[in-house]
Amino acid sequence: MTTLLKFTFVITVWLVNSAVGSDSFIELDQYYRMPKLYAYDDYDECFDAYDTPEQVYCVARSVVKPDNGSELYRFIQDFSADTYRHFRHDHLDRGLCVERCRRLVAGLDNSTLQQLYVEKFNIDFPYILNSKIFENVDQDRLNYGRLINICENYILQKVYNLTAYTEIEYCTRPVRQLDVDLLDLSFIAISMLLIFLVIASTWFDYRLNKNQKSDHYQLEIPCRKTMMLTSFSLKRNWYRLMSRSKDQLNEDLRFFQTFRFFTFFLVILGHCSDMFAVTPIGNPFDREREYYNPESLALINGSQIVQTFFEMSGFLLSIHFFTTRTRLKKVSWSVVLAVIVYRYIRLTPAYAYVLLLHATWLPKLQDGPLWMRGTQTERYMCRQNWWTNLLYVNNYVRSDEPCLQQAWYLACDYQLFALGMILVVAVTNTTSTDWRLSPLGHQTVEKL
């Protein structure tokens, strides 16, 4: 058996290396023949170095104009054709200081300006975000669109002998107008209410501790009314968060925390790696070269580790279900509905609060050339599609315009939990008691 395992391991490694390393990545000097994928003017310098009344910084997308007579353009097309491992190098991301471009263009004659300006041509892929996401985009394109187009083509023509159609995605200014609407005010009101509840509940809980007992906040409250009034107590909830359950089942499942820790660690590591693929970086060469490295692929494809969350959820569902099932002769469908509704009530309030933050104040919390692209997009999507998140269907409905994209996991988990509850009850209510309590029964329910 040991020899067979070694042989299988060697064959697997050989196959992976053959699949991944069958062709090599291009040399660095060849790579830098192509225009830079990302080129951003210094954001702070744009506003500080130019003492002008109108200070504007625009983020734009450029699409290289097809030119089959250009050997470089053909090279770009061939390289970009491998969409699994390469970025599109005919689709460029630019951040341009309007004043710098204005001074550059001012020194050019009319014939050169006419030559450098490229009209929009047929583009067969989505190259820019929806203009509805950002404010005043149409006016900014009218004011600075031609200037930005010529400014970008000046560099492309001079250095690479290529031209491109450039379109403004959005523009920012050093001082932005703070527009506040009813939804923004509602977030402030809810936040103030939560702060008030925490302060009032903490004070009430403190007043209950008349004898100044050291373990007051760790004791269970027998009165339901008092329990409700202390539910927002900061100190009591801190002890709940930091304490360990003395329930025997929780003691038996303590080892599970180890798996959760390492899974969370790997998920965070994978998301940190993914950031290099979705945000502008100064050296995309190394990122693309990683796709030719078998060791790097383990990290790049590490998103599959999220599947272990669903495995753990199914495992815990089956354990808790059978623990409860031993006390009941039969679980009714009304209980199933109550459990599913209870899970919804437990998850949704905090989830809705985060959605409201993304739909209101998140874009106003910071500034910068890339901040608007991420947060303003979130704001727009959350105002349009918030209901898909609160119904936990955002992984199917309008998934191409996601609000809180990472929340796809919550939708999947909730759907699988609801389906799992229905299936385990259906199976256990229609099969024999001996089979339900057997190891095979446990495994079957967990897999369901």
pLDDT digits (tens, 9 = 90+) for 362-392: 999 988 889 999 899 999 999 999 999 999 9
Tokens of 312: 């753990």
Cα distance between residue 111 and residue 150, in whole Å: 12
The dihedral region occupied by 199, where left means phi > 0, alpha psi between -120 and 50, and beta the remainder, is: alpha
pLDDT tier, 22 (very low <50, low <70, confident <90, very high otherwise): very low
Nearest to 162 by CA among 71, 96, 100, 97: 71
Question: Could you identify the residue written with the tokens 């192509």?
Answer: 34
pLDDT at residue 214 is higher than 90: no
The answer to whether the beta carbons of residues 117 and 167 sit under 8 Å apart is no
E strand intervals along 140-278:
164-172
Q: What is the mean pLDDT of residues 88-112?
A: 94
Unique residue bearing structure tokens 């710098």: 100
Predicted confidence (pLDDT) at residue 440 exceeds the cutoff of 50: no
Structure confidence at residue 16 (pLDDT) = 56
Q: Is residue 97 pLDDT above 90, yes or no?
A: yes
pLDDT at 278: 78
> Percent of the chain at pLDDT above 90?
50
Who's near 231: CB < 8 A, 6+ residues apart?
201
Average pLDDT over every residue of 193-215: 87
Can you tell me the distance from the alpha carbon of 160 to that of 72, in angstroms, rounded to the nearest whole number? 8
Would you list the domain boundaries of the chain? 28-172, 180-243, 245-430
Using alpha carbons, list the distances in angstroms from residue 32 to 36, 90, 159: 7, 13, 11
The answer to whether residue 85 scores a pLDDT higher than 90 is no
Question: Which range among 19-23, 80-84, 159-163, 398-402 has the greatest average pLDDT?
Answer: 159-163
The structure's pTM equals 0.84
25-39, 162-176, 190-204, 208-222, range with the lowest pLDDT: 208-222
Q: How does residue 11 score in pLDDT terms, banded at 50, 70 and 90? A: low
Q: For residue 292, name the pLDDT band (cuts at 50, 70, 90).
A: confident
For residue 435, is pLDDT > 50?
no
User: Residue 150 pLDDT > 50, yes or no?
Assistant: yes
* Higher-scoring residue by pLDDT: 179, 8: 179
